Structure formats: structure tokens, C-alpha cells
Amino acid sequence: MIELSGVEKHFQGQVVVHPLSLTIKEGEFLTLLGPSGCGKTTILRMIAGFEQPTKGKILLDGADLTSLPPNRRDLNLVFQHYALFPHMTVEDNIAFGLKMKKLPAKEQQARVEEAVAMTQLTPLVKRYPHQLSGGQQQRVAIARAIANKPKVLLLDEPLGALDLQLRKNLQSELKHLQRSLGITFVYVTHDQEEAMMLSDRIVIMNGGKVEQIGTPREIYAKPTTLFSATFVGENNIFSQDGRLFAVRPEKLVAVRGTEGAKRTGEVLDVLYLGSIHKLIVQLDDEPMTVSIAFDFTDDRPWNVGEKVGVAWNSEDEVVIGS
């Protein structure tokens, strides 16, 4: 549905987005995930039309968007900072774009009502932005975007300014909203958990380059690069015969003593995290993290300095590139 073909962006001669080719499917929830400065926002702004690619093309449903201004593209952008009009009520904020498009009044009203109901804002429609919490303001921004019924919604860290609990609530709401609307979402975040929870596919970016594209499950189970292996979830990285491997902590087992173990070492630290214990083990030359499910039949604590054997199945080793 959206096709980026060899899209690149340079600022003052510096490459901030390396050549990128990507097809985003209709109805897909696609997330650009990466650390600050990796080029996520720039990609979103190019799709929205606020930035021109230095090279390459962007197509929407086969039509070349590259030189169309933002208001002629059938998509809407939601920012981290809600950018609501302070002197307008919630319903006027939501209706604003529809008025600009000169939709018939009845149609405007129906769309506002629908967007307000979907974002659970019905009791708040007469309020002004300063009378709303951050989460409610962000809901208004989302309602305003969906009232336009765009083919694509672009969301740039829309939950980034909210506290953890509110973010978690809105994450589930967003996912639900996207499913029921069937709109394609292109979402930007640096929060790997958020990306894993929401997305159909994730594009992992680093330094302006794509590290990996895949479903959350593929990225977790089969990271292809060192960066994606360590950016999403925890991993133990080690090399053997000149190759680099990653093994997830929960795939390791720790046994007391060292007899018969694949590798042996010493407990460096013990972290109790409720449902699991984590052992940090000094293994040969490398510290490894072992997550151990709480064992109700063995309540002996692990002690720092204790000798420990560590084992895992070789099928849980993932070969990664550097």
C-alpha cells in the first residue's frame, strides 16, 4: 500500500536515512523502532510530506506521492505533543479538519460522534484542552486524526509524554482501535516493549540503516544482527569458532555445582524479580545472564561466589551477524 523505494535523506551532506526500500501492507500496524537519532521521525516526515527525500520515491496505492504537499496526501500525522487548538473545545478540535474540507454539516457531526465514541471522549466534548489530562488530550489528537478517515495514520511517539500506567492503557486502546478501523498505522517509538506489543511488523533502525524487518516473534526468536539481538529483550552474546551467537536468558538453565555442565562459572550477582530470578554468572571470560523460573521445590537461595553450571540446547543458539 505504501511503498518506499530507495528512499534516502541527507541533511547538510550527512546521510541520516540510508537507502531504504520497504512495502507497508494495507491494514498493517508497522513500527519503526530504534534509539534516538536513528532516523525514524525523518522517515515518517517524508511519508507525510514534511520532508522531501534526497533520493528515491514514495508511492501510496501505486501513485507517486514524492512531490505532493502534505495536505494532498491521504494520511494524517499524530505527534507526541498533541498540538490541539487551545481556544477550541474537544469537539471543535476534532471537527476542525472536516470544516476545512467543507464536508456537509451532518457528515461532520456523524464523524465527530463516531471518533469521540471510539476514543471514549463522549463526556468530555465540551471541554477545552487545558481542562484535560495528558492522556485525554492525546485521545483528542487521535480522534481528530481518525475523523478524517485517512488511509494511513502516522504516529510519532504518540504516547511518549505520558506516564507508564496511562501509556499501557492507551497502548491497548490504540491496538484495538487500529484493528476495528482497519487503517494502516505507521508508528514510531524507541520503546521496544511498546513495539513488540502493538505491531504486526517492526523495522529496527540504527544509525539511519535498517537492521532487521520482521514480526515481533521473528525479531525476538531470530535476531539477525548484534544490534537487534540486544536492542529487543535481553540476550547473551558469545563467539565460538569465529562465529557470533545469541542465547536468550530464559533458554539457559543454571545447576548447582559444576559437574556435567556445558559451561561452568561463578555467580556474580543475584537479582530477584518476583516471578523469575536472574543470575549474573561469570562464565569463562564473559558475564552471562541466566533467568531462572522460580522453583517451588528448591527454595535454597543462590549466593554470590557460588560455583554454577550453565547449560542450554544448541537449537536455542541463534547465529547473528555483527
Residue ranges in contact with ligand ATP by CB under 6 A: 11, 16, 34, 36-42, 190
| Residue nearer to ligand ATP on the CB measure, 37 or 70 | 37
**CB of 49 vs ligand ATP, minimal distance in Å:** 15
Please report, as a single letter, which amino acid is at residue 115: A
> Contact 198/177 with Cβ under 8 angstroms?
no
How many residues does the structure list for the chain? 322
| Residue nearer to ligand ATP on the CB measure, 16 or 254 | 16
**CB of 204 vs ligand ATP, minimal distance in Å:** 12
Measured in whole angstroms, how far is the alpha carbon of residue 116 from the centre of its chain? 25
**CB of 236 vs ligand ATP, minimal distance in Å:** 27
**CB of 18 vs ligand ATP, minimal distance in Å:** 11
| Residue nearer to ligand ATP on the CB measure, 47 or 252 | 47
| d(C-alpha 58, C-alpha 45), whole Å | 12
- Give the chain as a 3 state SS string: CEEEEEEEEEECCEEEEEEEEEEECCCCEEEEECCCCCCHHHHHHHHHCCCCCCEEEEEECCEECCCCCHHHCCEEEECCCCCCCCCCCHHHHHHHHHHHCCCCHHHHHHHHHHHHHHCCCHHHCCCCHHHCCHHHHHHHHHHHHHHCCCCEEEEECCCCCCCHHHHHHHHHHHHHHHHHHCCEEEEEECCHHHHHHHCCEEEEEECCEEEEEECHHHHHHCCCEHHHHHHCCCCEEEEECCEEEEECHHHCEEEECCCCCCEEEEEEEEEECCCEEEEEEEECCEEEEEEEECCCCCCCCCCCCCEEEEECCHHHCEEEEC
| Residue nearer to ligand ATP on the CB measure, 46 or 98 | 46
| Residue nearer to ligand ATP on the CB measure, 90 or 204 | 204
**CB of 140 vs ligand ATP, minimal distance in Å:** 22
**CB of 127 vs ligand ATP, minimal distance in Å:** 30
Closest residue to ligand ATP in the complex (CB): 41
| Residue nearer to ligand ATP on the CB measure, 144 or 190 | 190
Specify which residues 14 forms β-bridges with: 11
**CB of 32 vs ligand ATP, minimal distance in Å:** 8
**CB of 153 vs ligand ATP, minimal distance in Å:** 17
| Residue nearer to ligand ATP on the CB measure, 50 or 85 | 50
Give the CA distances from residue 320 to residues 32, 201, 227, 287, in Å, rounded to whole numbers and listed in that order.
21, 20, 10, 19
| Residue nearer to ligand ATP on the CB measure, 42 or 148 | 42
**CB of 51 vs ligand ATP, minimal distance in Å:** 8
| Residue nearer to ligand ATP on the CB measure, 210 or 310 | 210
